[in-house]
C-alpha cells in the first residue's frame, strides 16, 4: 500500500511539469501538449522554458541553457545556430527556435527516465539475513525431516507394520505428527515481524511527510550517517533578488557624484534604463530581478542593444537624445567584466569593487 501511494504521488508530481509547448506550424505559433510534438516541429524557447525534445538550434537570441540535470554543471551553456540541445535542459537567458530531432520515448530525457524507472530491489541487510536463514534452514531440515519421520514410524510399530495396516491406523498419525514437529521448527513469525516493523516505520515517516517508495528504505535510512542535499530548487529558489541601487562615489565614474566623494543620488536616467533591462521577458535572471523595483520604462525604443551572453557576462543598450535622462550607452553585467581601471581609473575601480563586496 505504501509503495502504491508513493507511485501515485510521484505521478501527480510529474504531471505538474507537462506544460504546453509553443511550436511554429504553418507560420503560426501554436501551443500544444508535449505528447503532440513530432519530428521537425520548430519549438519556440524563452527564458524559463524546459526543453521538451532533442533538437538543433535554428535561431539564437542570446540563448543560454542550464544543463545541470544532464551534466551536473551549473554554468550556463551558450547556444548558437547549429548547436544541439537535449531534452531536460532549461533556458536561463535569451530566446531561440529549435527544430525537433527526437521526441517522446526517443528523446534523451525519456531514455534517462526509463533507465531510472528500471526496478532494482533496495539492498536490505535484514531481508538478506532472513533469506539466508531460510536457505540454510531448508538445507538443515532435509535430514531432520528424515529422522523425525523415521522416529514416528518406529513409534507406531515400524515401517512394515505402518504400511501393512490401514492408513488411518498408523501411517496418517505418524505423518501428521511428523509435519507438526517440522512446522514448529520453521520461524514463520520472522518474515511477518520484519514486514510489520517496516510497515510501522513507513507509516510513522509518512506522518512526517516523508515519501517512502519501498519499505526496506527505512532500514537504509537508519544506517545513514551523513545526508548531502542539493537544496537549489527545493529548500531555496536559486534566484536573484534586487538589494539596493548605489551610485559610484568617484566623480570620474558618475556625473551625478558629489565633489566630496560621497555617493550621489541616483537620477531618473539609470532607473529608467534598469526598468528597460528588466522589462524584456527573455532576459537573464539578474536582469529579471530588476522588473519589480523599476517599472518606469523609457517611452522611446533604443537605437542599439547587445543581448546578454554568458561568455561576455554583460548586456548593453543605447538610447538617443529623445530619451532624455536615459540617453547614452548603458551596460549591465558582472562587476569583474565591466570595471576596468583603464576606463574608470584605479581609485574609482577600487571604490566600485568595495561597494560591490560591501
Residues with Cβ within 8 Å of 349's Cβ and at least 6 positions away in sequence, in order, are: 339, 340, 341
Q: Measure the CA–CA gap between 90 and 111, rounded to whole angstroms.
A: 17
Residues with Cβ within 8 Å of 221's Cβ and at least 6 positions away in sequence, in order, are: 205
Strand partners, 50: 90
Q: Measure the CA–CA gap between 20 and 43, rounded to whole angstroms.
A: 11
Other Cβ atoms within 10 Å of 34 Cβ, number? 17
66 included as an active-site residue:
no
State residue 216 phi and psi, 5-degree precision: -60, -10
Q: How far is CA 47 from CA 63, 88, 223, 258, in A?
A: 8, 14, 42, 40
Question: Catalytic: which of 19, 61, 230, 268?
Answer: 230
Active site residues per annotation: 230
Amino acid at each position: 500500500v505504501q509503495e502504491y501511494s508513493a507511485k501515485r504521488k510521484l505521478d501527480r508530481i510529474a504531471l505538474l511539469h507537462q506544460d504546453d509547448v509553443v511550436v511554429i506550424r504553418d507560420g503560426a505559433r501554436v501551443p500544444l501538449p508535449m505528447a503532440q510534438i513530432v519530428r521537425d516541429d520548430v519549438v519556440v524557447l524563452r527564458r524559463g522554458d524546459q526543453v521538451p525534445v532533442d533538437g538543433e538550434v535554428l535561431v539564437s537570441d542570446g540563448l543560454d541553457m542550464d544543463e545541470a540535470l544532464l551534466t551536473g554543471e551549473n554554468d550556463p551553456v551558450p547556444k548558437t545556430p547549429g548547436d544541439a540541445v537535449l531534452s531536460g535542459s532549461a533556458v536561463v537567458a535569451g530566446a531561440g527556435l529549435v527544430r525537433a530531432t527526437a521526441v517522446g520515448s526517443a528523446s534523451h530525457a525519456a531514455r534517462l527516465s526509463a533507465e531510472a524507472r528500471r526496478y532494482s530491489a533496495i539492498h536490505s541487510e535484514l531481508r538478506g539475513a532472513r533469506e539466508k536463514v531460510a536457505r540454510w534452514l531448508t538445507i538443515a531440515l532435509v535430514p531432520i525431516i528424515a529422522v523425525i519421520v523415521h522416529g514416528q514410524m518406529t513409534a507406531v510399530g515400524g515401517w512394515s507394520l505402518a504400511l501393512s495396516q490401514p492408513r488411518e491406523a498408523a501411517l496418517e498419525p505418524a505423518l501428521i505428527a511428523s509435519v507438526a514437529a517440522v512446522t514448529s521448527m520453521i520461524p514463520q513469525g520472522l518474515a511477518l515481524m520484519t514486514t510489520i516493523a517496516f510497515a510501522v516505520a513507513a507509516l510513522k515517516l509518512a506522518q512526517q511527510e516523508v515519501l517512502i517508495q519501498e519499505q526496506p528504505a527505512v532500514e537504509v535510512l537508519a544506517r545513514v550517517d551523513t545526508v548531502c542535499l542539493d537544496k537549489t530548487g527545493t529548500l531555496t529558489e536559486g534566484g536573484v533578488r534586487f538589494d539596493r541601487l548605489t551610485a559610484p562615489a568617484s566623480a570620474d565614474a558618475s556625473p551625478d557624484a558629489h565633489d566630496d566623494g560621497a555617493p550621489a543620488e541616483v537620477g531618473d536616467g539609470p532607473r529608467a534604463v534598469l526598468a528597460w533591462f528588466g522589462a524584456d521577458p527573455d532576459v537573464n535572471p539578474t536582469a529579471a530581478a530588476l522588473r519589480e523595483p523599476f517599472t518606469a520604462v523609457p517611452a522611446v525604443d533604443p537605437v542599439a542593444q547587445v543581448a546578454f551572453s554568458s561568455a561576455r557576462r554583460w548586456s548593453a543598450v543605447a538610447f538617443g537624445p529623445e530619451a532624455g535622462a536615459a540617453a547614452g550607452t548603458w551596460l549591465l553585467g558582472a562587476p569583474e567584466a565591466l570595471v576596468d581601471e583603464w576606463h574608470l581609473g584605479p581609485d574609482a575601480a577600487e571604490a566600485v569593487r568595495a561597494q560591490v563586496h560591501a
